[in-house]
Amino acid sequence: MGNLLHQLTEQASLQDVIAVFYEKMLLDNRIQHLFLNVDVANLQRKQHWFFTTLMLGTAQGTAEYLGKSHRNLVHKKGMTDEHFDAAMECLQAALDTYKVSKSVSSQIMDAAISLKSAVLTGK
């Protein structure tokens, strides 16, 4: 997967994909409430780091970090599978906006979806 970041950046800017990802999540009625009173610009910076490490294959400890960072969303705001799935739909739509190839898009989506349990259980 280490070459995945290079493959993506040949097709689209990671920063642009993340910006569209957040635009879509903030407009999605299913999940927009999760972002109330949240510094979205800060989240986008963290998301850039996350996707960079994920695509470079250097994301050791990421599952634990994601679990901790989403714990309040799960326990206080009631984040569920439905919310996670909606966010993944927004990610796919962002990748589609930039016409990222099916091969690269599938690898990114598979990597993100593989962390669902960590995000929702804190483990």
Mind listing the pLDDT tens digit for each residue in 66-76? 888 888 888 88
Dump pLDDT digits (tens) for 10-44. 878 899 999 999 999 999 999 999 999 989 999 99
Q: How many domains does the chain have?
A: 1
Determine the structural domain holding residue 93 and report its residue range.
4-121
pLDDT of 41: 92
**Does 110 have pLDDT greater than 80?**
yes
Domain at 73, CATH number: 1.10.490.10
Q: Which of 118, 20, 22 is nearest to 73 (CA)?
A: 118
Q: Tell me the C-alpha distance between 53 and 38, whole Å.
A: 23
Tell me the pTM: 0.89
**Does 2 have pLDDT greater than 60?**
no
**Does 96 have pLDDT greater than 90?**
yes
**Does 95 have pLDDT greater than 70?**
yes
pLDDT of 90: 98
Q: Given phi > 0 = left and psi -120 to 50 = alpha, else beta, which region is 36?
A: beta
Give the residue-averaged pLDDT of 105-117. Answer: 92
Check residues 82 and 71 and name the one with the higher pLDDT: 82
